[in-house]
Amino acid sequence: MSKATFVREATGLVREFGPMMALMMAMNNMIGAGIWGLSIRMPYTYPGSDPTLAFIIGLIPAFFFAISYAWLASCMPRAGGDYVFISRTTNPALGYVVTIGNFLGRWFSIGFLLYTDVSLWAIAFRMLGQGTGNTALADFGSWLAAADPTIKIACALFLLFTVWLFLTIGGTAFKAYTAIIWLVPIIGAIACIALNYANPFNPTSFQSAWDAVWGNGSYNEIVAIAQKYNYSPTAPNFDATIRAVAGAALFAYSGFHNPAQWSGEIKNPKRNLLIGIIGGTLITAVIYITLANSAFYAGGEFISQYNWAYYKGKASDFVITPRIEPVLPMFGVIFAGGNVLLAFLIATAGAFSLYHVNPAALMMETRRVFSLAFDRLFPERFADVSERFHTPTWAILFMVIGGAIGIIISSPVLGPLRTLAGGINATFMYLLGYLFTGLALALLPITKPEIYESIKVEVAGVPVPAICGVAAFALGIFFFAANAQVMAPLDIFISCLVLGIGLALYIYYAYKNKKMGIDLKTLLSEIPPE
Protein backbone atom coordinates (compact mmCIF):
# COMPACT_ATOMS: atom_id res chain seq x y z
CA MET A 1 0.00 0.00 0.00
CA SER A 2 1.53 3.30 -1.10
CA LYS A 3 1.96 6.00 1.51
CA ALA A 4 -0.11 8.31 -0.69
CA THR A 5 -2.94 5.85 -1.26
CA PHE A 6 -5.04 7.21 1.61
CA VAL A 7 -5.04 10.67 3.18
CA ARG A 8 -2.66 9.38 5.87
CA GLU A 9 -1.33 6.12 7.28
CA ALA A 10 -3.68 6.03 10.30
CA THR A 11 -7.17 7.41 10.83
CA GLY A 12 -6.51 9.03 14.20
CA LEU A 13 -9.72 7.50 15.57
CA VAL A 14 -9.41 5.52 18.81
CA ARG A 15 -11.03 2.23 19.85
CA GLU A 16 -12.61 3.48 23.08
CA PHE A 17 -16.16 2.10 23.07
CA GLY A 18 -17.34 -1.22 24.48
CA PRO A 19 -20.36 -3.52 24.02
CA MET A 20 -22.81 -1.44 26.06
CA MET A 21 -22.12 1.65 23.98
CA ALA A 22 -22.65 -0.34 20.77
CA LEU A 23 -25.92 -1.72 22.16
CA MET A 24 -27.24 1.67 23.32
CA MET A 25 -26.35 3.42 20.07
CA ALA A 26 -28.04 0.74 17.96
CA MET A 27 -31.19 0.96 20.09
CA ASN A 28 -31.17 4.77 20.16
CA ASN A 29 -30.97 4.84 16.37
CA MET A 30 -33.92 2.43 16.12
CA ILE A 31 -36.37 3.49 18.82
CA GLY A 32 -38.00 6.68 17.56
CA ALA A 33 -40.90 7.81 15.40
CA GLY A 34 -41.41 4.32 13.97
CA ILE A 35 -42.81 2.89 17.20
CA TRP A 36 -44.13 5.94 19.05
CA GLY A 37 -45.93 7.42 16.03
CA LEU A 38 -46.23 5.13 13.01
CA SER A 39 -47.32 2.02 14.95
CA ILE A 40 -50.39 3.66 16.45
CA ARG A 41 -51.35 5.14 13.05
CA MET A 42 -51.23 1.83 11.16
CA PRO A 43 -55.04 1.26 11.35
CA TYR A 44 -55.48 4.43 9.29
CA THR A 45 -52.30 4.40 7.16
CA TYR A 46 -52.58 0.71 6.29
CA PRO A 47 -56.28 -0.19 6.78
CA GLY A 48 -56.71 -3.78 7.88
CA SER A 49 -53.10 -4.20 8.97
CA ASP A 50 -52.08 -5.88 12.22
CA PRO A 51 -49.41 -3.69 13.89
CA THR A 52 -48.16 -6.46 16.18
CA LEU A 53 -47.81 -8.90 13.29
CA ALA A 54 -46.09 -6.20 11.20
CA PHE A 55 -43.34 -5.86 13.80
CA ILE A 56 -43.01 -9.64 14.12
CA ILE A 57 -42.69 -10.11 10.35
CA GLY A 58 -40.41 -7.07 10.11
CA LEU A 59 -37.97 -8.74 12.49
CA ILE A 60 -37.23 -11.46 9.89
CA PRO A 61 -35.59 -9.23 7.26
CA ALA A 62 -34.21 -6.97 10.00
CA PHE A 63 -32.41 -9.94 11.55
CA PHE A 64 -30.80 -10.99 8.25
CA PHE A 65 -29.78 -7.39 7.54
CA ALA A 66 -28.39 -7.06 11.07
CA ILE A 67 -26.36 -10.26 10.97
CA SER A 68 -24.91 -9.21 7.59
CA TYR A 69 -23.69 -5.95 9.13
CA ALA A 70 -22.43 -7.67 12.27
CA TRP A 71 -20.37 -10.24 10.33
CA LEU A 72 -18.94 -7.72 7.85
CA ALA A 73 -18.13 -5.16 10.54
CA SER A 74 -16.41 -7.79 12.68
CA CYS A 75 -14.07 -8.74 9.82
CA MET A 76 -13.69 -5.19 8.43
CA PRO A 77 -14.07 -2.94 11.50
CA ARG A 78 -13.51 0.43 9.87
CA ALA A 79 -15.12 3.86 9.85
CA GLY A 80 -17.73 4.05 7.13
CA GLY A 81 -19.15 0.57 7.61
CA ASP A 82 -21.28 -0.34 4.62
CA TYR A 83 -19.38 2.08 2.36
CA VAL A 84 -16.26 -0.02 2.96
CA PHE A 85 -18.15 -3.34 2.72
CA ILE A 86 -19.84 -2.56 -0.60
CA SER A 87 -16.99 -0.65 -2.25
CA ARG A 88 -14.37 -3.29 -1.40
CA THR A 89 -16.38 -6.41 -2.25
CA THR A 90 -18.97 -5.41 -4.85
CA ASN A 91 -18.41 -2.12 -6.68
CA PRO A 92 -16.75 1.16 -5.59
CA ALA A 93 -19.23 3.40 -7.41
CA LEU A 94 -22.17 1.49 -5.91
CA GLY A 95 -20.81 1.84 -2.39
CA TYR A 96 -20.18 5.54 -2.93
CA VAL A 97 -23.61 6.36 -4.40
CA VAL A 98 -25.48 4.49 -1.65
CA THR A 99 -23.40 6.26 1.01
CA ILE A 100 -24.01 9.71 -0.49
CA GLY A 101 -27.74 8.93 -0.64
CA ASN A 102 -27.79 8.02 3.03
CA PHE A 103 -25.88 10.94 4.48
CA LEU A 104 -27.40 13.62 2.24
CA GLY A 105 -30.82 12.18 3.02
CA ARG A 106 -29.88 12.41 6.69
CA TRP A 107 -29.58 16.20 6.42
CA PHE A 108 -33.30 16.38 5.83
CA SER A 109 -34.29 13.61 8.24
CA ILE A 110 -32.32 15.26 11.07
CA GLY A 111 -34.09 18.52 10.35
CA PHE A 112 -37.48 16.85 10.15
CA LEU A 113 -36.95 14.82 13.34
CA LEU A 114 -35.72 17.74 15.44
CA TYR A 115 -38.38 20.18 14.20
CA THR A 116 -41.02 17.50 14.82
CA ASP A 117 -39.48 16.74 18.22
CA VAL A 118 -40.25 20.28 19.38
CA SER A 119 -43.92 19.56 18.69
CA LEU A 120 -43.57 16.20 20.43
CA TRP A 121 -42.13 17.90 23.52
CA ALA A 122 -45.12 20.26 23.39
CA ILE A 123 -47.42 17.24 23.34
CA ALA A 124 -45.39 15.65 26.15
CA PHE A 125 -45.76 18.75 28.37
CA ARG A 126 -49.45 18.86 27.52
CA MET A 127 -49.93 15.17 28.33
CA LEU A 128 -47.88 15.47 31.51
CA GLY A 129 -49.92 18.48 32.62
CA GLN A 130 -53.22 16.80 31.75
CA GLY A 131 -52.17 13.52 33.36
CA THR A 132 -51.10 15.14 36.63
CA GLY A 133 -53.65 17.97 36.81
CA ASN A 134 -50.94 20.63 36.36
CA THR A 135 -52.73 23.34 34.38
CA ALA A 136 -49.63 25.54 33.95
CA LEU A 137 -47.63 22.72 32.39
CA ALA A 138 -50.52 21.76 30.10
CA ASP A 139 -50.90 25.41 29.05
CA PHE A 140 -47.17 25.65 28.30
CA GLY A 141 -47.45 22.57 26.11
CA SER A 142 -50.42 24.13 24.31
CA TRP A 143 -48.46 27.36 23.78
CA LEU A 144 -45.41 25.54 22.41
CA ALA A 145 -47.58 23.42 20.11
CA ALA A 146 -49.10 26.55 18.56
CA ALA A 147 -45.91 28.65 18.68
CA ASP A 148 -44.63 30.61 15.69
CA PRO A 149 -42.41 28.48 13.38
CA THR A 150 -39.40 30.69 14.16
CA ILE A 151 -39.68 29.73 17.84
CA LYS A 152 -39.85 26.05 16.92
CA ILE A 153 -36.85 26.48 14.60
CA ALA A 154 -34.89 28.08 17.46
CA CYS A 155 -35.81 25.21 19.79
CA ALA A 156 -34.83 22.62 17.16
CA LEU A 157 -31.50 24.39 16.55
CA PHE A 158 -30.84 24.32 20.29
CA LEU A 159 -31.47 20.57 20.34
CA LEU A 160 -29.10 20.20 17.37
CA PHE A 161 -26.47 22.27 19.21
CA THR A 162 -26.53 19.86 22.16
CA VAL A 163 -26.03 16.94 19.76
CA TRP A 164 -23.07 18.71 18.10
CA LEU A 165 -21.50 19.51 21.48
CA PHE A 166 -21.49 15.96 22.84
CA LEU A 167 -20.52 14.38 19.50
CA THR A 168 -17.54 16.70 19.22
CA ILE A 169 -16.35 16.15 22.79
CA GLY A 170 -16.79 12.39 22.51
CA GLY A 171 -15.22 10.10 25.11
CA THR A 172 -16.66 9.70 28.61
CA ALA A 173 -19.00 12.70 28.31
CA PHE A 174 -20.56 11.25 25.16
CA LYS A 175 -20.94 7.83 26.82
CA ALA A 176 -22.75 9.32 29.84
CA TYR A 177 -24.98 11.48 27.63
CA THR A 178 -25.86 8.46 25.47
CA ALA A 179 -26.70 6.35 28.53
CA ILE A 180 -29.12 8.96 29.92
CA ILE A 181 -31.04 9.53 26.68
CA TRP A 182 -31.17 5.74 26.19
CA LEU A 183 -32.37 4.84 29.69
CA VAL A 184 -35.18 7.36 30.25
CA PRO A 185 -37.35 6.36 27.24
CA ILE A 186 -36.64 2.66 27.84
CA ILE A 187 -38.05 2.95 31.37
CA GLY A 188 -40.98 4.93 29.92
CA ALA A 189 -41.65 2.20 27.36
CA ILE A 190 -41.60 -0.50 30.04
CA ALA A 191 -43.99 1.54 32.22
CA CYS A 192 -46.31 2.07 29.25
CA ILE A 193 -46.31 -1.65 28.40
CA ALA A 194 -47.03 -2.65 32.01
CA LEU A 195 -49.92 -0.18 32.40
CA ASN A 196 -51.42 -1.16 29.05
CA TYR A 197 -51.42 -4.86 29.89
CA ALA A 198 -52.89 -4.09 33.32
CA ASN A 199 -55.87 -2.37 31.67
CA PRO A 200 -57.49 -4.55 28.98
CA PHE A 201 -59.92 -2.59 26.82
CA ASN A 202 -63.34 -2.09 28.30
CA PRO A 203 -65.37 0.80 26.83
CA THR A 204 -66.70 1.92 30.21
CA SER A 205 -63.43 1.92 32.16
CA PHE A 206 -61.42 3.24 29.20
CA GLN A 207 -63.89 6.10 28.72
CA SER A 208 -63.56 7.06 32.36
CA ALA A 209 -59.73 7.03 32.24
CA TRP A 210 -59.63 8.89 28.91
CA ASP A 211 -62.06 11.60 30.02
CA ALA A 212 -60.14 12.11 33.27
CA VAL A 213 -57.09 13.18 31.24
CA TRP A 214 -58.44 14.65 28.00
CA GLY A 215 -61.65 16.26 29.26
CA ASN A 216 -65.11 15.19 30.36
CA GLY A 217 -66.99 14.00 27.28
CA SER A 218 -63.82 13.64 25.18
CA TYR A 219 -64.30 9.91 24.54
CA ASN A 220 -67.81 10.37 23.16
CA GLU A 221 -66.64 13.36 21.12
CA ILE A 222 -63.99 11.25 19.35
CA VAL A 223 -66.48 8.47 18.65
CA ALA A 224 -68.98 11.03 17.31
CA ILE A 225 -66.39 12.67 15.02
CA ALA A 226 -65.37 9.27 13.64
CA GLN A 227 -69.01 8.39 12.96
CA LYS A 228 -69.64 11.80 11.38
CA TYR A 229 -66.96 11.01 8.78
CA ASN A 230 -68.27 7.50 8.11
CA TYR A 231 -65.84 5.45 10.15
CA SER A 232 -66.24 1.69 9.92
CA PRO A 233 -63.87 -1.08 11.06
CA THR A 234 -61.68 -2.58 8.32
CA ALA A 235 -61.45 -6.35 7.96
CA PRO A 236 -58.00 -7.84 8.66
CA ASN A 237 -55.86 -7.77 5.52
CA PHE A 238 -52.50 -9.56 5.28
CA ASP A 239 -51.46 -7.52 2.23
CA ALA A 240 -51.96 -4.36 4.28
CA THR A 241 -49.78 -5.84 7.01
CA ILE A 242 -46.98 -6.50 4.49
CA ARG A 243 -47.26 -2.88 3.31
CA ALA A 244 -47.01 -1.82 6.95
CA VAL A 245 -43.85 -3.92 7.27
CA ALA A 246 -42.26 -2.21 4.25
CA GLY A 247 -43.43 1.32 5.04
CA ALA A 248 -43.37 1.44 8.84
CA ALA A 249 -41.89 -1.59 10.63
CA LEU A 250 -38.65 -1.71 8.62
CA PHE A 251 -38.32 2.05 9.03
CA ALA A 252 -38.68 1.50 12.78
CA TYR A 253 -36.03 -1.25 12.81
CA SER A 254 -33.61 0.84 10.74
CA GLY A 255 -30.65 1.83 12.88
CA PHE A 256 -29.53 -1.65 13.99
CA HIS A 257 -26.52 -1.18 11.69
CA ASN A 258 -25.39 1.96 13.53
CA PRO A 259 -22.33 0.47 15.34
CA ALA A 260 -21.03 -0.98 12.06
CA GLN A 261 -20.52 2.54 10.70
CA TRP A 262 -18.12 3.49 13.51
CA SER A 263 -16.74 -0.01 14.12
CA GLY A 264 -13.22 1.45 13.87
CA GLU A 265 -13.80 2.93 17.34
CA ILE A 266 -15.13 -0.22 19.03
CA LYS A 267 -12.92 -2.40 21.21
CA ASN A 268 -12.88 -6.15 20.53
CA PRO A 269 -15.12 -5.70 17.46
CA LYS A 270 -15.75 -9.40 16.77
CA ARG A 271 -17.54 -9.81 20.08
CA ASN A 272 -18.88 -6.33 20.76
CA LEU A 273 -20.44 -5.78 17.34
CA LEU A 274 -22.43 -8.99 17.64
CA ILE A 275 -23.65 -7.84 21.06
CA GLY A 276 -24.45 -4.33 19.86
CA ILE A 277 -26.04 -5.08 16.50
CA ILE A 278 -27.74 -8.45 17.07
CA GLY A 279 -28.49 -7.86 20.76
CA GLY A 280 -29.79 -4.36 20.08
CA THR A 281 -32.05 -5.62 17.29
CA LEU A 282 -33.57 -8.42 19.37
CA ILE A 283 -34.15 -6.27 22.48
CA THR A 284 -35.70 -3.54 20.34
CA ALA A 285 -37.95 -6.12 18.66
CA VAL A 286 -39.29 -7.22 22.05
CA ILE A 287 -40.02 -3.58 22.95
CA TYR A 288 -41.71 -2.91 19.60
CA ILE A 289 -43.87 -6.02 19.60
CA THR A 290 -45.01 -5.61 23.21
CA LEU A 291 -45.59 -1.85 22.90
CA ALA A 292 -47.73 -2.25 19.78
CA ASN A 293 -49.59 -5.26 21.13
CA SER A 294 -50.22 -3.75 24.57
CA ALA A 295 -51.41 -0.43 23.11
CA PHE A 296 -54.14 -2.07 21.03
CA TYR A 297 -54.90 -4.51 23.88
CA ALA A 298 -55.68 -1.53 26.13
CA GLY A 299 -57.07 0.90 23.53
CA GLY A 300 -59.10 -1.47 21.38
CA GLU A 301 -61.12 -0.03 18.52
CA PHE A 302 -60.97 3.44 20.04
CA ILE A 303 -57.44 3.84 18.64
CA SER A 304 -58.77 3.32 15.11
CA GLN A 305 -61.63 5.72 15.82
CA TYR A 306 -59.22 8.36 17.11
CA ASN A 307 -57.05 8.00 13.99
CA TRP A 308 -60.08 8.40 11.76
CA ALA A 309 -61.36 11.40 13.72
CA TYR A 310 -57.98 13.15 13.62
CA TYR A 311 -57.18 12.60 9.94
CA LYS A 312 -60.72 12.95 8.57
CA GLY A 313 -62.15 15.51 10.96
CA LYS A 314 -61.72 19.28 11.05
CA ALA A 315 -60.19 21.38 13.81
CA SER A 316 -63.63 22.82 14.56
CA ASP A 317 -64.90 19.32 15.39
CA PHE A 318 -62.56 19.11 18.39
CA VAL A 319 -64.29 21.13 21.08
CA ILE A 320 -63.36 19.16 24.21
CA THR A 321 -60.40 17.07 23.05
CA PRO A 322 -57.03 18.68 22.21
CA ARG A 323 -56.38 17.92 18.53
CA ILE A 324 -53.13 15.94 18.83
CA GLU A 325 -51.78 13.74 16.04
CA PRO A 326 -51.98 10.11 17.24
CA VAL A 327 -48.91 9.11 19.27
CA LEU A 328 -48.65 6.06 21.47
CA PRO A 329 -47.97 7.85 24.81
CA MET A 330 -51.28 9.77 24.68
CA PHE A 331 -53.11 6.45 25.12
CA GLY A 332 -50.76 5.02 27.76
CA VAL A 333 -50.65 8.15 29.94
CA ILE A 334 -54.35 7.84 30.83
CA PHE A 335 -53.53 4.82 33.02
CA ALA A 336 -50.94 6.70 35.12
CA GLY A 337 -53.69 7.67 37.58
CA GLY A 338 -52.17 11.08 38.26
CA ASN A 339 -48.80 9.61 39.33
CA VAL A 340 -46.29 12.31 38.35
CA LEU A 341 -43.33 9.94 37.77
CA LEU A 342 -45.31 7.50 35.64
CA ALA A 343 -46.91 10.32 33.67
CA PHE A 344 -43.49 11.91 33.10
CA LEU A 345 -41.88 8.67 31.92
CA ILE A 346 -44.70 7.82 29.51
CA ALA A 347 -45.36 11.35 28.26
CA THR A 348 -41.70 12.10 27.54
CA ALA A 349 -40.71 8.67 26.19
CA GLY A 350 -41.63 9.59 22.63
CA ALA A 351 -40.00 13.02 22.81
CA PHE A 352 -36.77 11.60 24.24
CA SER A 353 -36.80 8.86 21.60
CA LEU A 354 -37.19 11.26 18.70
CA TYR A 355 -34.27 13.23 20.15
CA HIS A 356 -31.93 10.32 20.88
CA VAL A 357 -32.11 9.10 17.28
CA ASN A 358 -30.09 12.14 16.20
CA PRO A 359 -26.78 11.77 18.09
CA ALA A 360 -26.74 8.08 17.17
CA ALA A 361 -27.52 8.83 13.51
CA LEU A 362 -24.97 11.65 13.32
CA MET A 363 -22.29 9.43 14.87
CA MET A 364 -22.99 7.03 12.01
CA GLU A 365 -23.22 9.56 9.17
CA THR A 366 -20.16 11.58 10.21
CA ARG A 367 -18.07 8.41 9.99
CA ARG A 368 -19.45 7.80 6.49
CA VAL A 369 -18.39 11.33 5.50
CA PHE A 370 -15.00 10.72 7.14
CA SER A 371 -14.48 7.44 5.26
CA LEU A 372 -15.18 9.03 1.86
CA ALA A 373 -12.75 11.83 2.63
CA PHE A 374 -10.13 9.33 3.86
CA ASP A 375 -10.42 7.58 0.48
CA ARG A 376 -9.88 10.96 -1.24
CA LEU A 377 -13.41 10.82 -2.66
CA PHE A 378 -14.67 13.84 -0.71
CA PRO A 379 -12.95 17.04 0.53
CA GLU A 380 -9.96 15.83 2.55
CA ARG A 381 -10.62 18.30 5.37
CA PHE A 382 -13.49 16.06 6.45
CA ALA A 383 -10.93 13.35 7.28
CA ASP A 384 -9.33 15.59 9.93
CA VAL A 385 -9.49 14.23 13.48
CA SER A 386 -9.11 16.29 16.67
CA GLU A 387 -5.95 15.31 18.55
CA ARG A 388 -7.67 16.26 21.81
CA PHE A 389 -11.06 14.59 21.37
CA HIS A 390 -10.23 11.93 18.72
CA THR A 391 -13.40 12.87 16.81
CA PRO A 392 -13.76 13.95 13.14
CA THR A 393 -14.70 17.53 13.98
CA TRP A 394 -15.06 18.82 10.40
CA ALA A 395 -17.21 15.88 9.33
CA ILE A 396 -19.39 16.48 12.40
CA LEU A 397 -19.69 20.20 11.59
CA PHE A 398 -20.58 19.38 7.96
CA MET A 399 -23.45 17.13 9.02
CA VAL A 400 -24.66 19.57 11.71
CA ILE A 401 -24.80 22.44 9.19
CA GLY A 402 -26.75 20.12 6.90
CA GLY A 403 -29.07 19.31 9.80
CA ALA A 404 -29.64 23.03 10.43
CA ILE A 405 -30.59 23.48 6.77
CA GLY A 406 -32.91 20.49 7.15
CA ILE A 407 -34.60 22.09 10.17
CA ILE A 408 -35.39 25.24 8.21
CA ILE A 409 -36.65 23.29 5.20
CA SER A 410 -38.77 21.08 7.49
CA SER A 411 -40.54 24.12 8.94
CA PRO A 412 -43.42 25.98 7.24
CA VAL A 413 -41.30 29.10 6.65
CA LEU A 414 -40.19 28.03 3.15
CA GLY A 415 -43.65 26.93 2.06
CA PRO A 416 -43.67 24.31 -0.73
CA LEU A 417 -39.94 23.61 -0.31
CA ARG A 418 -40.95 21.71 2.81
CA THR A 419 -41.87 18.79 0.55
CA LEU A 420 -38.14 18.27 -0.04
CA ALA A 421 -37.70 17.18 3.57
CA GLY A 422 -40.05 14.25 3.11
CA GLY A 423 -39.10 13.68 -0.50
CA ILE A 424 -35.90 11.82 0.31
CA ASN A 425 -37.53 8.62 1.51
CA ALA A 426 -35.53 7.25 4.45
CA THR A 427 -36.69 3.65 4.02
CA PHE A 428 -35.77 3.81 0.30
CA MET A 429 -32.17 4.78 1.18
CA TYR A 430 -31.90 2.37 4.12
CA LEU A 431 -33.04 -0.61 2.07
CA LEU A 432 -30.55 0.17 -0.70
CA GLY A 433 -27.76 0.00 1.86
CA TYR A 434 -29.15 -3.17 3.43
CA LEU A 435 -29.65 -5.14 0.23
CA PHE A 436 -26.19 -4.29 -1.16
CA THR A 437 -24.58 -5.06 2.21
CA GLY A 438 -26.28 -8.47 1.99
CA LEU A 439 -24.81 -8.86 -1.49
CA ALA A 440 -21.38 -7.87 -0.16
CA LEU A 441 -21.55 -10.62 2.47
CA ALA A 442 -22.72 -13.15 -0.14
CA LEU A 443 -19.75 -12.28 -2.38
CA LEU A 444 -17.16 -12.05 0.41
CA PRO A 445 -15.91 -15.69 0.14
CA ILE A 446 -15.28 -15.07 -3.58
CA THR A 447 -14.00 -11.49 -3.72
CA LYS A 448 -12.14 -11.33 -0.40
CA PRO A 449 -11.44 -14.95 0.69
CA GLU A 450 -8.59 -13.87 2.97
CA ILE A 451 -10.98 -11.62 4.93
CA TYR A 452 -13.78 -14.19 4.90
CA GLU A 453 -11.52 -16.64 6.75
CA SER A 454 -11.86 -14.55 9.93
CA ILE A 455 -15.65 -15.13 10.06
CA LYS A 456 -15.78 -18.48 8.26
CA VAL A 457 -18.68 -20.67 9.41
CA GLU A 458 -19.59 -23.66 7.27
CA VAL A 459 -22.16 -26.44 7.55
CA ALA A 460 -21.56 -29.38 5.21
CA GLY A 461 -19.24 -27.15 3.19
CA VAL A 462 -21.89 -24.43 2.77
CA PRO A 463 -20.73 -20.94 3.88
CA VAL A 464 -23.36 -19.81 6.40
CA PRO A 465 -22.49 -16.07 6.25
CA ALA A 466 -22.84 -16.11 2.45
CA ILE A 467 -26.27 -17.79 2.71
CA CYS A 468 -27.36 -15.12 5.21
CA GLY A 469 -26.08 -12.50 2.78
CA VAL A 470 -28.14 -13.98 -0.05
CA ALA A 471 -31.22 -13.98 2.20
CA ALA A 472 -30.61 -10.33 3.16
CA PHE A 473 -30.16 -9.38 -0.50
CA ALA A 474 -33.37 -11.15 -1.56
CA LEU A 475 -35.42 -9.75 1.33
CA GLY A 476 -33.99 -6.30 0.65
CA ILE A 477 -35.13 -6.42 -2.97
CA PHE A 478 -38.61 -7.63 -1.98
CA PHE A 479 -39.23 -4.95 0.63
CA PHE A 480 -37.52 -2.26 -1.47
CA ALA A 481 -40.05 -3.00 -4.22
CA ALA A 482 -42.93 -3.11 -1.69
CA ASN A 483 -41.90 0.26 -0.26
CA ALA A 484 -41.51 1.80 -3.73
CA GLN A 485 -45.12 0.86 -4.51
CA VAL A 486 -46.42 3.08 -1.71
CA MET A 487 -44.04 6.00 -2.38
CA ALA A 488 -45.32 9.14 -4.09
CA PRO A 489 -43.83 9.75 -7.56
CA LEU A 490 -42.24 12.99 -6.31
CA ASP A 491 -40.53 11.11 -3.46
CA ILE A 492 -39.13 8.55 -5.90
CA PHE A 493 -37.89 11.34 -8.18
CA ILE A 494 -36.19 13.27 -5.36
CA SER A 495 -34.59 10.11 -3.92
CA CYS A 496 -33.26 9.13 -7.36
CA LEU A 497 -32.02 12.70 -7.89
CA VAL A 498 -29.95 12.44 -4.71
CA LEU A 499 -28.46 9.15 -5.95
CA GLY A 500 -27.69 10.91 -9.24
CA ILE A 501 -25.79 13.59 -7.32
CA GLY A 502 -23.81 10.79 -5.68
CA LEU A 503 -22.89 9.29 -9.06
CA ALA A 504 -21.83 12.70 -10.40
CA LEU A 505 -19.60 13.25 -7.35
CA TYR A 506 -18.01 9.82 -7.77
CA ILE A 507 -17.19 10.52 -11.43
CA TYR A 508 -15.72 13.91 -10.48
CA TYR A 509 -13.48 12.54 -7.70
CA ALA A 510 -12.41 9.53 -9.77
CA TYR A 511 -11.28 11.92 -12.51
CA LYS A 512 -9.61 14.25 -9.98
CA ASN A 513 -7.67 11.38 -8.37
CA LYS A 514 -6.56 10.11 -11.75
CA LYS A 515 -5.25 13.59 -12.63
CA MET A 516 -3.32 13.60 -9.34
CA GLY A 517 -1.72 10.27 -10.23
CA ILE A 518 -3.59 8.27 -7.57
CA ASP A 519 -4.41 4.71 -8.61
CA LEU A 520 -8.12 4.47 -7.83
CA LYS A 521 -8.16 0.71 -8.44
CA THR A 522 -5.48 0.17 -5.81
CA LEU A 523 -7.13 2.66 -3.45
CA LEU A 524 -10.49 0.91 -3.54
CA SER A 525 -9.11 -2.62 -3.36
CA GLU A 526 -7.33 -1.98 -0.05
CA ILE A 527 -9.07 -2.05 3.32
CA PRO A 528 -8.46 1.38 4.94
CA PRO A 529 -5.97 1.46 7.82
CA GLU A 530 -7.07 1.76 11.43
Confirm whether 517 is domain-assigned. no
> 209: part of which helix (H) or strand (E)?
helix 203-214
- Tens digit of each residue's pLDDT (9 = 90 or more) over 38-61: 999 999 999 999 999 999 999 999
Count up the domains in the chain and report the number. Answer: 1
Taking the CB of residue 126, how many other CB atoms lie within 10 A of it? 24
For the purposes of burial, counting CB atoms within 10 Å of the CB of 521, is it exposed (0-12), middle (13-18) or buried (19 or more)? exposed
Looking at residue 185, its pLDDT comes to 94
Domain containing residue 402: CATH number: 1.20.1740.10
Distance between CA atoms of residues 40 and 252, nearest Å: 12
Confirm whether 323 is domain-assigned. yes
Confirm whether 250 is domain-assigned. yes
Following CA atoms 84, 89, 92, 95 in sequence, which dihedral angle do they give, to the nearest 10 degrees?
-50
Confirm whether 30 is domain-assigned. yes
Looking at residue 494, its pLDDT comes to 86
Taking the CB of residue 312, how many other CB atoms lie within 10 A of it? 15
Distance between CA atoms of residues 102 and 495, nearest Å: 10
Q: Collect the ranges in the chain with pLDDT lower than 70.
A: 1-4, 416-424
Q: Largest alpha-carbon pair distance within the chain? A: 77
Looking at residue 2, its pLDDT comes to 46
Confirm whether 490 is domain-assigned. no
> 463: part of which helix (H) or strand (E)?
strand 462-463
Contacts of 265 (CB under 8 A, 6+ apart): 13, 14, 15, 16, 17, 79
Confirm whether 266 is domain-assigned. yes
pTM above 0.75, yes or no: yes
Confirm whether 453 is domain-assigned. no
> 458: part of which helix (H) or strand (E)?
strand 458-459
Confirm whether 294 is domain-assigned. yes
Looking at residue 3, its pLDDT comes to 44
Distance between CA atoms of residues 79 and 369, nearest Å: 9
**SS3 at position 2:** coil
The closest alpha carbon to 436, from 72, 53, 179, 11, belongs to 72
Expressed as residue numbers, the domain containing 148 is 19-371+384-418
Residue 59 near residue 347, CB atoms below 8 Å: no
Looking at residue 482, its pLDDT comes to 86
Distance between CA atoms of residues 481 and 490, nearest Å: 16
The per-residue b/e assignment along 82-103, b for 16 or more CB within 10 angstroms, e otherwise, is bbbbbbbbbbbbbbbbbbbbbb
